[in-house]
A and B are shown apart, each in its own frame.
Chain A
Amino acid sequence: MTVDRRFSCEESAPAEEVAAAALKLARRFAAGATMWCAAQWPAHGGHVAVEFVHPVIVGKRALPAVHVEGADVAAAVRLLARPGDVLVAVSAADDARVGDLLARSEAWGLTRLWLGAGPRPPSGRAEHVVWIEGVDPAFAARSGAVVLLYHLLWELTQVVFEHPGLLEPRPVPAGEGCITCSDEGRVGEVRAVDEGSRAEVLVSGVPETIDVSLVDPVGPGDLVLVHAGVALTALQHGPSAGPGESRP
């Protein structure tokens, strides 16, 4: 009998990545965050949320998690989420809708956890990428491998709550720097453009007025890379999942 590797249970999931993501998630919950769940496979989005809201183990803490689905997930999360909330995305790396949501979530000030399988996404798309590599994502989504990832995330997040001293925000160690004053560019989502070369953008959940004269004309919903009050590059045009964008 030939063994089809797509059905293998021998995938290897990244223990350290799950552990770090769970610590971050627990800290965000402790600070009052809501967790927003979006998935390429809608059943997984619902499953992640119910794990946290209604734990299967009696006595574990119920935590605020919401599955968001529908025609325009990005519009819903933009409206509902507050800066400091968490986005948990479950998808393959090439899912266009999830990719768009992750990019915008940075501008909205959300902490992003990306769980998935298959070829690993490029770095920098999420604070925590928890990935099962070397598998076909369409099969991993059904084999128990992907559900294992968010089961582990839930189980370890509950463990962190048993260590209250570690739930407080981590002080930034000297030398690591602060993202808002380092010389990195940050993603901004354009809210409005005035007649001149000024635009109001949302960066890390905070509105800023910036100079957009260096980039091609931008409009509401566009994503731009912002540095020192100037848009350096247009990252993506159009409102979330607008016309012309590829949909999964």
Chain B
Amino acid sequence: MSSEPTSFLYPFIEGDERDASSLVADLAASARAKMADSRALRVATLERCADSLARAAEAMADRFARGGRLFAFGNGGSATDAAGTVELFRSPPGGRSLPAISLADDRAVLTALANDIGIDVVFSRQLIAHARAGDIAVGFSTSGDSVNVLRAFEEAWRRQVLTIGLCGYEGGAMAASEAVEHCLVVRSDSVHRIQEAQDALMLRLWSTVQRCMDQGGTR
């Protein structure tokens, strides 16, 4: 910044910086590094999860073929990932449309359950109302520890609903839960990088479901 010999007298000079060009260069370098991290994590995750993803897709295709429906849920950004999953299955960029419902979208149901009982039951109580044996539950939690997501999986499992979990870090309680049949873990400790890799996993899961259904000769 300053080349004046007295600059050492001003320890708070950062607060007075006026030239944005060096910051913009730093920001761009940071962006490039994060993009590289994101790409590497997505590639590594798709590779590491390939077998479990293929099994999950096959089970989902079987459920869809028998008339099952998909219920997706999560909190915050994961709620939007659940909604994105529903958009992908119902309005796909190709292939067949499949029935999917987001449990994080209905404000009346969400606030009624949260207010009357508590946030821990907002998804499980909806599954009690909607889910039947043969349906599919897809839950997102970057920590793997979201209580309402775990409770929804337990409810789904009791009802013979296929359970598929997406989480990050080391998998948290979701990876240890017997109620989650197919758990896809993104091994990262950045919520943002985890969500990007979960998107990649979900796209691959969706495309594999489509392929399984084509090969299965179903409708």
Contact residues of A with B, CB < 8 Å? 4, 7, 9-13, 15-16, 18-20, 22-23, 41-44, 46-47, 50-51, 54, 56-57, 136, 138-139, 142-144, 147-148, 151-152, 154-156, 159-160, 163-166, 170
One of B78-86, B153-161, B176-184 at the interface: B78-86
Is the CB–CB distance between B23 and A23 below 8 Å?
yes
Contact residues of B with A, CB < 8 Å? 14-18, 20, 23-32, 34-35, 38-39, 42-43, 46, 76-77, 79-81, 83-84, 86-88, 93, 142, 191-192, 195-200, 202-204, 206-207
Q: How far is the CA of A164 from the CA of B20 in the complex (A)?
A: 11
Interface centre among B35, B42, B76, B200 (most CB of A within 10 A): B35
Is the CB–CB distance between A142 and B39 below 8 Å?
no
Is the CB–CB distance between A166 and B18 below 8 Å?
yes
Task: Look across to chain B and name the residue whose beta carbon is closest to the beta carbon of A162.
Answer: B14
Is the CB–CB distance between A18 and B31 below 8 Å?
yes
Asked, given contacts A159-B30, A163-B23, whether A7 binds B203 with beta carbons under 8 Å apart, the answer is yes
Q: Which residues of A have CB within 8 Å of B195?
A: 144, 147, 151
Q: How far is the CA of A19 from the CA of B35 in the complex (A)?
A: 13
Is the CB–CB distance between B28 and A16 below 8 Å?
yes
CB of B14 to closest CB in A, whole Å = 7
Task: Look across to chain B and name the residue whose beta carbon is closest to the beta carbon of A137.
Answer: B93
Q: From B23, B25, B83, B196, give the contact of A151 (CB < 8 A).
A: B196
Is the CB–CB distance between A165 and B17 below 8 Å?
yes
Is the CB–CB distance between B30 and A142 below 8 Å?
no
Q: Which residues of B have CB within 8 Å of A11?
A: 39
Asked, given contacts A142-B93, A142-B203, A144-B200, whether A23 binds B35 with beta carbons under 8 Å apart, the answer is no
Q: How far is the CA of A143 from the CA of B198 in the complex (A)?
A: 9
Q: Which residues of A have CB within 8 Å of B32?
A: 15
Q: Which residues of A have CB within 8 Å of B38?
A: 144, 148
CB of B6 to closest CB in A, whole Å = 18
Q: How far is the CA of A154 from the CA of B15 in the complex (A)?
A: 21
Asked, given contacts A23-B23, A43-B80, whether A56 binds B191 with beta carbons under 8 Å apart, the answer is yes
Task: Look across to chain A and name the residue whose beta carbon is closest to the beta carbon of B142.
Answer: A56
Q: How far is the CA of A164 from the CA of B200 in the complex (A)?
A: 36
Is the CB–CB distance between A7 and B204 below 8 Å?
yes
Q: From A4, A22, A46, A142, give the contact of B80 (CB < 8 A).
A: A46
Task: Look across to chain B and name the residue whose beta carbon is closest to the beta carbon of A136.
Answer: B93
Asked, given contacts A47-B77, A51-B77, whether A9 binds B46 with beta carbons under 8 Å apart, the answer is yes
Is the CB–CB distance between B87 and A41 below 8 Å?
yes
Q: From B20, B31, B191, B206, give the contact of A166 (CB < 8 A).
A: B20
Q: How far is the CA of A44 from the CA of B77 in the complex (A)?
A: 9
Q: How far is the CA of A155 from the CA of B32 in the complex (A)?
A: 12
Is the CB–CB distance between A152 and B34 below 8 Å?
yes
Task: Look across to chain B and name the residue whose beta carbon is closest to the beta carbon of A55.
Answer: B191
Q: From A42, A143, A165, give the contact of B199 (CB < 8 A).
A: A143
Asked, given contacts A50-B80, A136-B93, whether A156 binds B200 with beta carbons under 8 Å apart, the answer is no
Is the CB–CB distance between A15 and B35 below 8 Å?
yes
CB of A77 to closest CB in B, whole Å = 20
Q: How far is the CA of A155 from the CA of B18 in the complex (A)?
A: 21
Task: Look across to chain B and name the residue whose beta carbon is closest to the beta carbon of A14.
Answer: B31
Is the CB–CB distance between B14 and A163 below 8 Å?
yes
